[in-house]
Structures are given as C-alpha cells and as structure tokens.
Amino acid sequence: MFFFTSVRTCGREFIRFVRSVLSEADGTGSFSRVAGAAIVLGTLGWVTHVVWHLHTIPDLTGPAAFVTTGVGTLYGVNKASDIIGAFKDTAPPVVPPNPAVLPQPQGPFCGPAQPPPPLFGLPGQH
C-alpha cells in the first residue's frame, strides 16, 4: 500500500514540476517554453529514428542548429515582449505643463503679439 501511495505522490510531484517548467513565474502557461519543449522532443525523436534505421550516429550539427535557432528565437521573442510590456506598463503619464510655472520671457520683444513686417516695400504699400 505504501508503494502505491508514494508512486502516486511522486507522479503528482512530477506533474507539478513539469507544469512549473512550462509556465512563467506567475503561473501562466508559456507558449515559448511549450513550443521549445516540442522542438527538443521532436528533434530527439528525429535523431533516434535516424540512428535506429541507419545503425550509426549521424552528424548532429544540423539538429543542434535547428534546436538552437528554434528555441532561441522563441525565447528571444518572449523576452522582448516582456521588456516591451514592462516599459508600456511603467511609462509615466503625460502631464501638460502648467503655464503659471513656466518661466516668462524677458527682453525687448516680449510685448503683445505684433503682425510681422511686410516682406517687400514699405508698410502700407501694396
């Protein structure tokens, strides 16, 4: 009886461990981790199939590059989205400036707005 209870407990702990590996820190599922695990398991199955039928170990640079590129790309996209999301969530609100606080201009041209002088000729001539 103890053996079956311990096996059941170990099975539950293993399932809990696998869920924690395939999810983010907050407990939500992570597509990049699940897809990365699928890429790794698929590549292991592919290499196993080749070894089983050819009875020799093939050159593993292709599968290694496939796994590295696939999992690395998914991981990079996931982290980039986390970084962009962090910037988007913590951006300070845009507050319009208060005109009473802005420094007032000083100098001889600080009077009321005047129309610009004409480009050609004297004022009043058309």
Task: Please return the burial class of 36, using the count of CB atoms within 10 Å of its CB with bins 0-12, 13-18 and 19+.
Answer: buried
Of 69, 77, 17, the closest CA to residue 39 belongs to 69
- Cα 67 from Cα 23, distance rounded (Å): 20
Predicted pLDDT at 14: 85
Mean pLDDT of 36-65: 91
**Residue 47 belongs to some domain of the structure:** yes
**Segment among 53-62, 76-85, 111-120 with least mean pLDDT:** 111-120
Is residue 31 over pLDDT 90?
no
Query: Of residues 64 and 97, which shows the higher confidence score?
Result: 64
Contact 50, 58 (CB under 8 A): yes
**Residue 39 belongs to some domain of the structure:** yes
**Residue 37 belongs to some domain of the structure:** yes
Predicted pLDDT at 39: 92
Q: Which domain holds residue 82?
A: 2-90
| The total number of structural domains that make up the chain | 1
- Cα 55 from Cα 74, distance rounded (Å): 33
**Segment among 15-19, 23-27, 54-58, 98-102 with least mean pLDDT:** 98-102
pLDDT band (50, 70, 90) for residue 30? confident
**Residue 21 belongs to some domain of the structure:** yes
**Residue 64 belongs to some domain of the structure:** yes
Predicted pLDDT at 46: 92
SS3 content of the chain, % helix, strand, coil (to 5): 60, 0, 40
- Cα 30 from Cα 36, distance rounded (Å): 10
Is residue 44 over pLDDT 90?
yes
